[in-house]
Structure 1
Amino acid sequence: MRRHLVDVPVEFVHLAPLRLTCRTRVAATPSEVYRALAEGTAGGRPGLRPTANGPRASGASAVERARHGGGLVVSGTVLAARPGEHYAYRADEVRVPGVRALVADWRLTPGPTGGTRVVRTLALDVAPVLRALAPLARPWLGGMFRRSMRRLDTRPAGRG
């Protein structure tokens, strides 16, 4: 059953009751990382399962449905689309009980010797039972994020 989530702004990433933040560095440039986030890649969208296919950034407020692994379906709204710097979207509809609001936020900064420092935050408002389980999810989400970011460094040049 689809669940409609609370309509929150991009600032929710700083105000959410639960924040799961992952950091990594990749050899890809900030522009390449942004393009993979906003337009997707042949192997999926970084930070999400490989089967994801949206939302895309054709500008803030773009809306698209995404199908992630495990049957999770999200309808989302792009909240921030600053090429090479910042990409964020809000999930508007999910098939997960207990989720009230969700924003996925990626901040990109050039590395001091090249590449990109990527910080991804999942900002959530969830039922207390899900909040209690968050510590168990952190290692899994962090590993998934780092693996998907590493795929940017292994894909052939010119493929987005």
Structure 2
Amino acid sequence: MARRLRPVELGFLLSAPQRMVFTAGMSAAPKTVYRALAEDVSDWPRWFSAISAATPTRGGAGRDIQLRVGIRFEETILAADPDERYAYRVDTVNAPGLRALAEEWWIAPAPGGSRVRWTFAADCATSLRMTLPLIRPGLTVSFRGAVRTLDRRLARAR
């Protein structure tokens, strides 16, 4: 059953009680990375292995995300700054423990391509908050694998 989360704005990405930040380099230019993140939403499952389905909703103002483990998110896009930032919050989720959740992908030019930073910001119940340190290694592996796979896909498309 879907649970409605507290609506948060961009400031939550800096003030959330639980934050995890991951970074990686990519050979693709920021414009290309941004397009893959913000404009080609339905392609996310092809490069982010944790995701089984991604559908833009409300004319691009939202997304419906299905994870392979059965968790489903309905999201609202908070920022879509071309070639720089793509951020969204979760409005509803079918998993317990979350009170608020937002994520941000920041893209910056770097020698040889781009630097990508993913911020995972959450407010959650004590039971989930205590497990976040345990899932961080899995999120790290998932993020790095997704960025590597996306970078290879983008390189083939050039």
Provide the residue aligned with 1:3 in structure 2.
3
Partners of 1:25 and 1:117 within 8 A in 2: yes
Provide the residue aligned with 1:92 in structure 2.
91
Provide the residue aligned with 1:143 in structure 2.
141
Matched position secondary structure for 2:119:
strand
Q: Cα–Cα, structure 1 residues 2 and 56, in superposed 2: closer, same or farther, change >3 Å?
A: closer
| 1:53 and 2:51 correspond | no
Provide the residue aligned with 1:63 in structure 2.
62
Q: Which has the higher strand share?
A: 2
Partners of 2:16 and 2:121 within 8 A in 1: yes
Provide the residue aligned with 2:78 in structure 1.
79
Measure, in 2, the Cα distance between the counterparts of 1:76 and 1:54: 10
Provide the residue aligned with 1:18 in structure 2.
18
The residue type equivalent to 1:8 in the other structure is V
Q: Cα–Cα, structure 1 residues 47 and 87, in superposed 2: closer, same or farther, change >3 Å?
A: farther
Measure, in 1, the Cα distance between the counterparts of 2:108 and 2:58: 19
Q: Note the residue ranges of structure 1 that are not aligned, 5 or more in a row.
A: none
Matched position secondary structure for 2:23:
strand
Measure, in 2, the Cα distance between the counterparts of 1:57 and 1:84: 22
The residue type equivalent to 1:70 in the other structure is V
Measure, in 2, the Cα distance between the counterparts of 1:4 and 1:33: 30
Matched position secondary structure for 1:51:
strand
TM-score normalized with structure 2 length = 0.89
Two-structure CA RMSD over aligned residues (Å): 2.1
Measure, in 2, the Cα distance between the counterparts of 1:93 and 1:52: 16
Deviation for aligned residue 1:43:
5.6
Runs of 4+ that moved beyond 4 A: 45-48, 55-59
Deviation for aligned residue 1:29:
1.2
Provide the residue aligned with 1:40 in structure 2.
41
Matched position secondary structure for 1:71:
coil
Q: Cα–Cα, structure 1 residues 35 and 45, in superposed 2: closer, same or farther, change >3 Å?
A: farther
